[in-house]
Amino acid sequence: MKALLASFVFVTTGILVFAQPLMNNEAIELQRILNQYQTECLELFKKANAAEWEAMTTGKEEAFKRCTAAKLEYAKYHSNREQYAKIKTLFQRATSLSAVDKRAAEKMLVAYEQNQLPPELLQKMQEMSSEIEMIFQNFRGKLDGKEYSNNDLLEAIEAETDSAKRQQIWEALKQVGEQSAAKIVALAKVRNQAAKQLGFKNYWEMQVHFQEYKPQELLAIFEELDKLTKPLFVQMKNELDAELAEKFGIAPEKLMPWHYDNPFFQQAPPSKEINTNIFFEDKTEEDIIAIAVKYFKHLGLDFETILKNSDMFYREGKNQHAFSIDMDTLGDVRNLCNVRPTSDWMETVLHEAGHGVYSLGHNRNLPFNLRDPAHIFTTEGVAMLLGAKAREPKWLSRFADVDEKETEKYAAALKKQRIREQLIFCRWTLVMLNFEKMLYENPDAGLVKLWQETVEKYQLLNYPKEREQGDWASKPHFVIAPVYYHNYMLGELFAAQLRRSLGTVFQNDEPKAAVILNEKVFAPGALYPWREFVKQTTGEPLSPKAFAEELR
């Protein structure tokens, strides 16, 4: 099938339209290299993902070593300078390539470009990253001399009403930063070294470039987002602080980060009107999965295939968070979760399933390196679109078997809580974007103070001034997904634009909306650059406007 791809143009309906471009010699040679690349690179991709899955599900040192080696092999494949130069020249001179092959060749070229580094530097980055990942995976916070999982500590801090004890739990959630901070700074310096060899000022700038953004374009979106959301956030947080001050019997100005439940204040604590966990307190972990299966069956999207090879429940040694992985771009999509019967985990299961069905929906006739989301923020957007259903009254009644009178009773509170969630997450992403940018601009800066100042600026939190620990380094994304966090927020913007463009269809006929998503969002894969893709799927350029309108 790959040999025929040069003769077809793919359109968003999934139809392959026949065309016969007359290619020059450079295009023919580039086509030959591209066909070879699709076969060879797919095998390396599958090997790396198999090794990562083993590492994430076992936590064993040997598995992490195999994962590092497999990822390094994939990177080294793309570090061949002669091959890169050849592909670059051919790409510039090739004429009459089909739209599919031109885009696939462009993606191949970028993969080579970002790996034009000495093998020893590639290896050093992989090994340093793997070492820190293993720390995060196997670390358990200590409280009163006993070790606890992240889930246990998060549940404990939500249930605790004594401020001093809450502080102790919050500090336990941050303990991993004491082990990881210096190592992350060292890794940042090595990453900067790599970026400079490729002609960039620092690693942040390099990553933004290879994510197909212009730095000023990305910063402008977030500056607008800051302006649009700050007044709404201030108003909401004043109200939230009054509730929490009453709950804990302290003045609002005495509230500290541990009073907000989530250790990073990236999620909203329960409001005085509603704790959404009440809808799941009679459920088991297996029930949460069954609810998701029921919903995706209703949509006509295949979550059950994803579950066959997934790993959904907590155990020692396993990664404590959640993610979705497309093992081979050919149908082996898996989710990793640590499900508990809570509202947050219900949302997370739907979120990761959203990633999964997006991956399953790519047109298999596309080349391997186009069987991928249009952009990392578009798959985040779909995941957030579907994850948000866990907070909707109608969804809770229909799929989680919550009494309709109960959801009607809390409908206004659920809507209010949803807006709180969006505002809080938005301000948290501003922290991550700006802090990570400053981290790579100067890894030797006073990061403890810089983190505190950034948190205070965007989240309006009173940070304990006496803290000298690297609390920022307890966030695993600095290692496992560097310079990535902004894509979560851009995913929220994309999700808001999808909701607006789908309109009443998404509200009243979800299976029909799912068909539209399958055809227009999932199937095209990475065929179109993200700016063009967003306009095609939502009818407008990516911006914070639709998101901000939802908050009003």
Residue 278: Cβ within 10 Å count = 13
Residue 469 has pLDDT above 70, yes or no: yes
Choose among 149, 492, 166, 476: nearest CA to 340.
Answer: 149
H/E run at residue 9: strand 8-10
- pLDDT score at 3: 34
- Asked whether the CA dihedral 113, 118, 120, 124 is positive or negative, the reply is negative
- Tens of pLDDT, residue by residue over 260-298, are 999 999 999 999 999 999 999 999 999 999 999 999 999
DSSP assigned state of 142: E
Residue 158 has pLDDT above 70, yes or no: yes
Mean pLDDT of the residues in the chain: 94
Output the DSSP codes for 391-434: G-HHHHHHHS---HHHHHHTHHHHHHHHHHHHHHHHHHHHHHHH
**Average pLDDT, stretch 434-454?**
97
- Tens of pLDDT, residue by residue over 87-98, are 999 999 999 999
**Average pLDDT, stretch 126-144?**
93
Gap between the Cα atoms of 118 and 116, Å rounded: 7
- Tens of pLDDT, residue by residue over 2-58, are 232 222 233 333 444 445 568 899 999 999 999 999 999 999 999 999 999 999 999
**What pLDDT band is residue 480 in, cutting at 50, 70 and 90?**
confident
Buried b (16+ CB within 10 A) or exposed e, 288-311: bbebbbebbeebebbbeebbeebb
Choose among 480, 453, 478, 479: nearest CA to 467.
Answer: 453
Q: How far is C-alpha 82 from the chain's CA centre?
A: 34
- pLDDT score at 465: 87
Gap between the Cα atoms of 192 and 359, Å rounded: 32
Beta bridge partners of 18: 8
**Average pLDDT, stretch 504-511?**
92
Residue 529: Cβ within 10 Å count = 13
Retrieve residue 305's tokens.
């295939």
Residue 1 has pLDDT above 90, yes or no: no
Gap between the Cα atoms of 50 and 207, Å rounded: 25
- pLDDT score at 2: 29
- pLDDT score at 145: 94
- Given a contact cutoff of 8 angstroms between Cβ atoms, the answer to whether 393 and 416 are in contact is no
- pLDDT score at 21: 60
Distances (CA, A) of 404 to 51, 277, 398, 401, 451: 46, 16, 8, 8, 44
pTM assigned to the model: 0.91
N-to-C CA span, the chain: 50
**Average pLDDT, stretch 364-393?**
97
